[in-house]
Structure 1
Amino acid sequence: MEAELAARYGIPDQETDKPTAENVDVYLIARDSAGNATGCGALRLLPDGTAEIKRMYVTPQARGTDVARSILRNLEEHARRRGLDTVQLTTGDKQPDAIRFYEREGYERTEGYGPYAGHPMAVCMARRLA
């Protein structure tokens, strides 16, 4: 994931608040029938009572196979079980494929949050869970 993002943006990862084992509530890894990892995603609980989707990634060969949707829905379900009604995330302005995916899945653009508020390359999105 980091190599792909570095290639798109021409710079190494700039995230200052990376998810860790201490602040991630769940981390999911999707695997194909042979056991190879095809995607991943994490859910981090935030102090304001929302959750943040982190490190969503699907390998290029698994894109378009519903791996991303499955990971996202499972992360959202985990947030619901934790009693949360909103999830948010940040992607980048040079990731139109990710932006389209999240919009199709019901996410709407927001003003931003935390270190991403006002960041020129950040595209912040959120979804209320029903």
Structure 2
Amino acid sequence: MPDVSVWYYGVSVAGAVNLENRGGGQLARVAFERVDLGVCEQRDEILDISMAYFQWMNDEIIARCKFSIPDIVGMSLDTYVSYTTDIGRRIGPNEGGVYVRRDDAGQIMAMGGIRRLPDGAAEIVRIFTRPQFRGMGLGTQAVDHLLTEARQLGYGMVRLDTGVFMTSAHKIYHAAGFQLCEPYAGAEPPERLLPYWLYLQRSL
């Protein structure tokens, strides 16, 4: 297995906090809101942005790994997105949930989530900004918000996983204090992705 640490520690993090400030400038720091996936309208919104996230990830995995998400999970992308959204619906407010940032018209620009791992640590998941809203610091804001939320929920450790191709996210995570760790119990990526995946953690 290749040493994937170079994908994380080998990338410059200069200016990482303002990583996404390439477009119309940083947005004001408005707190992300927790969505209620038991409400059909909100569930549909999360299904929509989650499909965009997984379609992007699937394209990247195919390009680098020569297999697809459906190949490794044994179901279509649509079915997998619905399956993972249902998992999110079962996360109680005392454990985390799915959080979004909306524009003035109410459209979801970015999302992220927190769930509890088997060992009691928090896991940050689904950090994603729609392409038309990139360049405004939303990725950094999402991570900052989720770390604050995890701390308020009483977690002492936060973990996450990320593909080696998610280099912009690596800079945000590094700037937020995350360090490489071993693959952990409860992580979503199957074993076939291990050569292409990184696992990170930080204490709170």
TM-score range, shorter chain: 0.7 to 0.9
Aligned to 1:32: 103
Q: Is 1:122 the equivalent of 2:190?
A: no
Are the aligned partners of 1:111 and 1:117 in contact in 2 as well (CA < 8 Å)?
no
Corresponding position of 2:59: 7
Greater strand share, structure number: 1
Asked if the contact 2:139/2:169 (under 8 Å) is kept, the reply is no
TM-score (norm. length: structure 2): 0.57
Query: What one-letter code is carried by the residue in structure 1 that aligns with 2:198?
Result: V
Identity of aligned residues (%): 26
1:6 Cα shift? 0.9
SS of structure 1 residue aligned to 2:69: coil
Moved over 6 A (4+): none
Larger radius of gyration: 2
Equivalent AA in structure 1 for residue 116 of structure 2: L
Give the secondary structure class of the aligned counterpart of 1:20.
helix
- State the match for 2:139 in structure 1: 68
Quote the Cα distance in structure 2 between the aligned partners of 1:103 and 1:60.
Answer: 22
Say which is worse superposed, 58-67 or 82-91, in terms of deviation.
Answer: 58-67
What is the Cα-based RMSD across aligned positions, in Å?
Answer: 2.3
Question: In 1, distance between residues paired with 2:132 and 2:123?
Answer: 26
Map of 1:112 onto structure 2: 183
Q: Which moved more, 1:2-11 or 1:117-126?
A: 117-126
When you count helix as a share of all residues, which structure comes out higher?
A: 2
Name the structure, 1 or 2, with higher relative contact order (CA <8 Å, separation 6+): 2
| Structure 2, gaps ≥5 residues long | 1-52, 63-67, 74-79
